[in-house]
Amino acid sequence: MQQTFRAAFRSHLVLAALVACTFAATPPAHAQQPYRILDRWTLPEPGGWDYVTVDSAAHRLYITRGDHVDVLDTASGKLTGTIGNLGRIHGVALDTAGQFGYISDAGTNTVVVFDRATLATLASIPAGTGPDGITFEPATQTVWAFNGRSHDATVIDAATRKVVATIALPGKPESAAVDGTGILYNNIEDKNQIVRLDAHSLKMTATWDLKDCESPSGLAFDTAGHRLFPVCDGKKMGVVDSLTGASLATATIGDGPDAAGWSAAHKLAFASCGEGVLSVVDAGSPGYKTIQTLATQSGARTMAYDAAADRIYLITATFGPRPAATPENPRPPMIPGTFTVLVIGR
């Protein structure tokens, strides 16, 4: 009986050691399971696009398409609705109550309010010249439209739908990020800067020069770690301390980035790049190394990250031969029927 117990005890120790070694040798989840293309959704209509916004709770994807917004079901990829009769639109912001959405319309220099249940437009609020990036600030329940041509931000009280402030900016604003307590950040593309804004005082409180990061466009934000990730020309992603504005590091990404995303659960920063790659940067370890360069499709430089589903949505299309560039026709024509949403996951 004693020998049997000792043999069983030794077997238990060996098994425990094997289990411990197995767990010790297991790499992080994001190293085990790289991202890949899970699906491709196509829409038949022609026309360009700009920002894409995901509503995780409602399983919706809002894609701005020039004079209208396409609304897709993220479970099926099917077009479920359209918000039309708009001007020249750029972005969509969503409130925290799940009731209303806000569209930046540079064609009419307004912010258009819509009902998220019916997709009916409800109001049109004057903004600055060329509203582009747009975001909802939850602590003050305000909408911020960043005006690319007048170089300022229009602040709208969501309850009254009235403009409460116009804040001058040092240059052309691009993407914005919020911390949830009333602080916002925005890239200033033509000055290689990030500005910090206070939604409570309605003032710009800091202007920070970026180091080795030119023409910042997309901006991701690790709120818990106080890190901003602007994506820039020259295949670079900056890493900036959101408390001090200090440039901490530069990660290598693909060429032609336009948007960025952040996964708090996996400590990863994403950059969608026009050359046709998605760059995945490990922001949970020193060095900010790019741990994956996923081949996507040429032109897929616009993205939205769904943190609840750990899904990335990229937008692109196939284009014909490039004509001689003119102010009226600066881009090659899109081939009809090739507008595509790439669904990325693991």
Cα angle for residues 292, 318, 76 (degrees, 5° grid): 70
pLDDT digits (tens, 9 = 90+) for 89-129: 999 999 999 999 999 999 999 999 999 999 999 999 999 99
Q: Which fold has domain 49-209?
A: Methylamine Dehydrogenase; Chain H (2.130.10)
Architecture of the domain spanning 28-48+211-346: 7 Propeller (2.130)
Residue type, 155: V
**Where exactly are the structural domains of the chain?**
28-48+211-346, 49-209
pLDDT digits (tens, 9 = 90+) for 306-331: 999 999 999 999 988 877 767 666 67
For the chain, what percent of residues have pLDDT higher than 70?
A: 89
pLDDT digits (tens, 9 = 90+) for 176-219: 999 999 999 999 999 999 999 999 999 999 999 999 999 999 99
- Say if CB 324 and CB 16 are below 8 A apart: no
The reported pLDDT for the residue numbered 327 is: 67
> Taking the chain, what is the end-to-end CA distance rounded to the nearest angstrom?
51
DSSP string, 232-291: ETTTEEEEEETTT--EEEEEE--SSEEEEEEETTTTEEEEEETTTEEEEEE-SSTT--EE
Q: In the β-sheet with 131-137, what is the strand arrangement from edge to edge?
A: 131-137, 142-147, 152-157, 162-168
